[in-house]
C-alpha cells in the first residue's frame, strides 16, 4: 500500500499535482482543504467551525483535523493507498498519521516537498481560479482553462477562493510556514522526505515527483499506465 504525502507551502502546487499523480498511481487523493471547503459550502457544523480559521489564514485545530482525516482514511477506497494533499500540516498531525498507519502495519511511503520560494507563492494564489465541482485549480496566466470560467475536466464554473484575498494570502504564509518546517523535519527524521523544484512547469514538476517516488519504491499499481 502506497501512502504518499504531498508537502508544500500554500500555493506551491499540491492541488495541481495531486489528481495528476492519482491518475498515474491509481489511488485516490484526500485533500483536507477540499473537505473543509465542501463542509463550508454545505453549511455543516464542521464547515462553520473550520471557516473561522480558514478565513483568518490559520490552521484548523489538530483535534478536528486529525479525526476528520483518520475517518476518511478508514473508508474502503483508501485501502489500496492514498495521496494526501494538505495533511499533515503540523508535527502533531504527522505523529497521529504515523500511529494510525502503524496500527494497520503501514507507514508513509514518501513525503514529497514541492519547493517554491515565497515570492512566487503569492503570485500563484492571487491568480488562482478553482472549479466548483471538484476544486481543480487553474491560474489566469500560468495554467488558464481552455474556455474562460469553465473547468476543462468537469465543465463546472470557476471561482476564486475566499482565502485567496491578498490579506488572507499573507496571513496564511505568515502563520503556516513554521508548521510546514516541523512536518519536513518529521519526515526527514524518518527517512522518507524528498524534494522537487516546484518552480518548473506543471509537467516537469510531475516528472520530478515520479522520479522522487520511484527512489522511495512507490510505483503505479499493477494495470495502471504511468
Ligand atoms: P488548502 O486547501 O490545503 O490550502 P493550502 O495548503 O494553503 O494550499 P493551496 O491549496 O492554497 O495551494 P496548492 O499547493 O494546492 O496549490 P495549487 O495547486 O492550487 O487549505 C486551506 C485551508 O484549510 C488552510 O489555510 C487551513 O485553514 C485549512 N486546512 C487544510 N488542511 C489543514 C490541516 N491539515 N490542518 C489544519 N488546517 C488545515 O496551485 C496554486 C496556483 O498555482 C494555481 O493557480 C495553479 O494553477 C498554479 N500552479 C500550480 N503549479 C504551477 C506551476 N508548476 N507553474 C505555474 N503555476 C502553477
Ligand atoms: Mg490545494
Q: What pLDDT digit, counting tens, does each position of 100-116 carry?
A: 999 999 999 999 999 99
Residues of the chain with pLDDT under 50: 223, 225-226
Q: Does ligand 1 lie within 6 Å of residue 33's CB atom?
A: yes
Nearest CA to ligand 1 atom 20: 33
Nearest CA to ligand 1 atom 2: 33
The sheet with strand 29-31 has its strands ordered as: 29-31, 81-85, 2-7, 110-115, 193-197
pLDDT value, residue 225: 46
Task: Name the residue among 70, 60, 62, 59 with its Cα closest to residue 30.
Answer: 70
pLDDT value, residue 10: 97
Q: What pLDDT digit, counting tens, does each position of 47-58 carry?
A: 999 999 999 999
pLDDT value, residue 189: 98
CA of 180 to the centre of ligand 2 (A): 14
Task: Name the residue among 70, 67, 62 with its Cα closest to residue 103.
Answer: 70
Atom of ligand 1 nearest to the CA of 6: 14
Residues with CB under 5 A from ligand 2 (ion): 15
**Which residues belong to the active site?**
14, 89, 128, 161, 172
199 burial level (CB within 10 Å; 0-12, 13-18, 19+): middle
The ligand minimizing its distance to the Cα of 125 is 1
Secondary structure of the chain in HEC code, one letter for each residue: CEEEEEECCCCCCHHHHHHHHHHHHCCCEEEHHHHHHHHHHHCCHHHHHHHHHHCCCCCCCHHHHHHHHHHHHCCHHHCCEEEEECCCCCHHHHHHHHHHHHHCCCCCCEEEEEECCHHHHHHHHHCEEEECCCCCEEECCCECCCCCCECCCCCCEEECCHHHCHHHHHHHHHHHHHHHHHHHHHHHHCCCEEEEECCCCHHHHHHHHHHHHHHCCCCCCCCCCC
pLDDT value, residue 222: 53
pLDDT value, residue 1: 86
pLDDT value, residue 27: 95
pLDDT value, residue 220: 75
Nearest CA to ligand 1 atom 55: 142
Q: At residue 4, what are phi and psi to the nearest 5 degrees?
A: -110, 125
The ligand minimizing its distance to the Cα of 36 is 1
Amino acid at each position: 500500500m502506497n501512502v504518499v504525502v504531498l508537502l508544500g507551502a500554500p500555493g506551491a502546487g499540491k492541488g495541481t499535482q495531486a489528481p495528476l499523480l492519482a491518475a498515474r498511481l491509481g489511488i485516490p487523493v484526500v485533500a483536507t482543504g477540499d473537505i473543509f471547503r465542501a463542509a463550508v459550502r454545505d453549511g455543516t457544523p464542521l464547515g462553520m467551525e473550520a471557516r473561522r480559521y480558514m478565513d483568518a489564514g490559520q490552521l484548523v485545530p489538530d483535534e478536528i483535523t486529525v479525526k476528520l482525516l483518520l475517518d476518511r482514511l478508514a473508508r474502503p477506497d483508501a485501502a489500496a493507498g492514498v495521496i494526501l494533499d494538505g495533511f499533515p500540516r503540523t508535527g502533531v498531525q504527522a505523529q497521529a498519521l504515523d500511529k494510525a498507519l502503524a496500527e494497520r502495519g503501514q507507514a508513509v511511503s514518501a513525503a514529497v516537498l514541492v519547493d517554491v520560494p515565497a515570492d512566487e507563492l503569492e503570485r500563484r494564489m492571487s491568480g488562482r481560479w478553482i472549479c466548483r465541482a471538484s476544486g481543480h485549480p487553474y491560474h489566469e496566466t500560468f495554467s488558464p482553462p481552455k474556455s474562460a470560467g469553465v473547468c476543462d475536466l468537469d465543465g463546472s464554473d470557476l471561482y476564486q477562493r475566499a482565502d485567496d484575498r491578498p490579506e488572507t494570502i499573507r496571513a496564511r504564509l505568515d502563520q503556516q510556514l513554521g508548521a510546514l518546517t516541523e512536518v519536513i523535519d518529521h519526515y526527514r527524521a524518518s527517512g522518507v522526505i524528498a524534494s522537487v523544484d516546484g518552480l518548473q512547469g506543471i509537467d516537469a514538476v510531475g516528472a520530478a515527483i515520479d522520479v522522487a517516488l520511484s527512489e522511495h519504491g512507490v510505483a503505479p499499481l499493477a494495470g495502471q499506465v504511468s
